[in-house]
């Protein structure tokens, strides 16, 4: 199992919703600054003070909870502006408000597909470095993954930050021999984890529950963003194994606090959503509802 490590992962202290410093702004406050809700008078004063103290370096702090990457100042400033514009463009196109995390995820994947994009070129070197760091992160087992879920649920109870669990079911129907040996299973495990690393953030984690089922933990992520992440992961896996006959990939998920407030309930409801995705070909990525 791969645990993606944040570059600021030293120690066990956790930031509160409005803590100061690189990587310590809460996702809740960043989303409010990005226009997801009105700032309170206290938050407006705090934002002005942060801008006065940090100048353009504030953009690095704003993007860290959204991307898990600590970008250089000039790159962060450019990317923040593009994401805010993308957020309002998506909202106008869809006719409904789009949250900042969803817009960020959508924009980053879009610019990655367009290598000529100026922002993509700016972001590329940092993103590649982040992925290399993630590829060599600690190898953890299912027990550690479950312990991580417990940590995230405790964090919700203290800071009200959501977390989502995705469960992927990957089956090669006509390739019984494809996963018949430990070596084959290990190769598939490594490839799938590498694919998950490719389309997730530093702070996300993944594990293999059994030969066909993988888990992905998405801290600071609600169901809407998790749905988008599940679609991205599924697409990436299907493309990577495009030569396999009758490959099926379905994804189920559940979020804390919307669906559960304990690890066992969260895992059970993610499995229930996975079961629904298996029987509903029209919705292969299903978040519990």
- What DSSP line would sit under 149-164, residue for residue? HHHHHHHHHHH---EE
Is residue 130's pLDDT more than 60?
Answer: no
Question: With bands split at pLDDT 50, 70 and 90, how would you rate the model's confidence at 140?
Answer: low
| CATH (domain of 200) | 3.30.70.270
Q: What mean pLDDT is predicted for residues 64-90? A: 86
Q: What mean pLDDT is predicted for residues 60-88? A: 86
Claim to verify: residue 126 and residue 24 sit in the same structural domain:
yes
Claim to verify: residue 80 and residue 182 sit in the same structural domain:
no
- Between CA 162 and CA 140 the distance in angstroms is 23
Closest listed residue to residue 33, CA positions, set 53, 63, 57: 63
Claim to verify: residue 162 and residue 207 sit in the same structural domain:
yes
pLDDT at res. 178: 53
Claim to verify: residue 117 and residue 152 sit in the same structural domain:
no
Closest listed residue to residue 208, CA positions, set 248, 169, 163, 263: 169
Claim to verify: residue 166 and residue 247 sit in the same structural domain:
yes
Claim to verify: residue 33 and residue 84 sit in the same structural domain:
yes
134: β partners: none
Claim to verify: residue 152 and residue 44 sit in the same structural domain:
no
pLDDT at res. 185: 65
Domain limit, last residue, from 76, 108, 135: 135
Claim to verify: residue 170 and residue 128 sit in the same structural domain:
no
Claim to verify: residue 100 and residue 156 sit in the same structural domain:
no
Claim to verify: residue 121 and residue 156 sit in the same structural domain:
no
Domain that holds residue 279: 142-287
Domain limit, last residue, from 87, 107, 135: 135
Domain limit, last residue, from 135, 157, 187: 135
- Out of 102-106, 131-135, 208-212, the most confident range is 208-212
pLDDT tens profile 1-58: 444 443 333 333 333 333 334 446 888 889 899 998 999 999 899 889 989 999 999 9
Claim to verify: residue 85 and residue 108 sit in the same structural domain:
yes
Is residue 189's pLDDT more than 60?
Answer: yes
Question: With bands split at pLDDT 50, 70 and 90, how would you rate the model's confidence at 103?
Answer: confident
pLDDT at res. 133: 42
Q: CA-CA distances (angstroms) from residue 272 to 39, 55, 276, 278? A: 37, 47, 6, 10
Percentage of residues of the chain with pLDDT beyond 90: 31
Domains in the chain, number: 2
Question: With bands split at pLDDT 50, 70 and 90, how would you rate the model's confidence at 174?
Answer: low
Task: Look at 267 and 65; give whichever has higher pLDDT.
Answer: 267
- Between CA 255 and CA 159 the distance in angstroms is 15
Claim to verify: residue 80 and residue 149 sit in the same structural domain:
no
């Amino acid at each position: 199992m791969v645990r993606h490590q944040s570059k600021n992962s030293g120690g066990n202290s956790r930031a509160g919703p409005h803590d100061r410093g690189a990587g310590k702004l809460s996702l809740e406050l960043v989303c409010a600054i990005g226009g997801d809700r009105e700032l309170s008078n206290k938050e407006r004063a705090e934002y002005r003070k942060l801008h006065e103290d940090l100048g353009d370096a504030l953009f690095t702090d704003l993007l860290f909870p959204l991307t898990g990457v600590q970008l250089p100042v000039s790159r962060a400033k450019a990317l923040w502006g593009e994401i805010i514009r993308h957020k309002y463009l998506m909202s106008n196109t869809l006719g409904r408000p789009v949250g900042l995390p969803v817009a960020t995820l959508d924009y980053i994947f879009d610019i990655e597909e367009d290598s000529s994009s100026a922002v993509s070129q700016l972001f590329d070197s940092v993103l590649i470095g982040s992925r290399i760091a993630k590829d060599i992160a600690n190898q953890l087992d299912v027990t550690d993954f479950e312990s991580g879920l417990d940590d995230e649920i405790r964090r919700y109870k203290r800071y009200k930050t959501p977390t989502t669990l995705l469960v992927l079911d990957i089956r090669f129907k006509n390739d019984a021999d494809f996963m018949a040996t430990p070596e084959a299973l290990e190769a598939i495990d490594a490839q799938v984890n590498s694919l998950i690393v490719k389309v997730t953030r530093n702070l996300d984690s993944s594990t293999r529950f059994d030969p066909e089922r993988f888990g992905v933990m998405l801290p600071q992520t609600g169901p809407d963003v998790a749905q988008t992440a599940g679609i991205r992961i599924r697409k990436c896996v299907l493309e990577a194994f495009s030569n396999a006959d009758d490959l099926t990939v379905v994804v189920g998920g559940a979020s804390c606090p919307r669906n559960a407030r304990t690890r066992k309930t969260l895992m059970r409801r993610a499995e229930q959503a996975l079961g629904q995705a298996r029987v509903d070909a029209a919705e292969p990525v299903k978040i519990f509802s």
